[in-house]
Amino acid sequence: MARKHTPSFIIELPLVVTPEDDRILQSRMVAGQRLYNGVLHSALKWLRRMRESNDWQTAKAIQRGKKSKRMFRDVRDRFGLSEYHLQAVATEMKNQAGWQNRLGAHETQKIATRVWNSLFEHMKGVRGRPRFKGRRRTLHSLEGKTN
């Protein structure tokens, strides 16, 4: 059943913050950026290893259909390339870095989901290779799962 669309809107308001609040926001954005880059690095490494495997080559040689989709999914699962696995990796990276007070669990999971979406489109050939976030191409926002 198709999902019903309700009218919605977005409003952007400038923040008026104290220097202390600005410092806290900047540290959280930097932590989010570094976490994104760490998760992306791990995911690209697993993707490269997966594509080098014989199972991937076999699935790639099969004519497109249900069997090839199942084989691709099995190979992805074997190499740990799933949204939930990336979320677990992101949580572990955040905890090892000591960013528990900068990033919450929901923000960490959404960062991993962001990496997964870009990586999955790259795997399907829809988009190019995902890029790391640098000084000029930073995260513009952090997203959570709840209000």
* Cα angle: 75, vertex 83, 130; to 5 degrees: 90
User: 55: exposed, middle or buried (C-beta count within 10 Å: 0-12, 13-18, 19+)?
Assistant: middle
Please, what sign has the CA dihedral across residues 96, 78, 129, 139?
negative
**pLDDT tens-digit map of 109-128:** 999 999 999 999 998 888 98
Write down the pLDDT at residue 45.
92
**pLDDT tens-digit map of 27-52:** 888 899 999 999 999 999 998 988 88
**pLDDT tens-digit map of 69-86:** 788 888 888 888 888 999
For the chain, the average pLDDT equals 86
What is the maximum alpha-carbon separation in the chain?
60
Write down the pLDDT at residue 1.
62
Write down the pLDDT at residue 6.
81
Q: Which residues contact 97 (CB under 8 A, 6 or more apart)?
A: 31, 34, 35
Write down the pLDDT at residue 87.
92
DSSP state of 103: S
pTM for the predicted model, two decimal places: 0.82
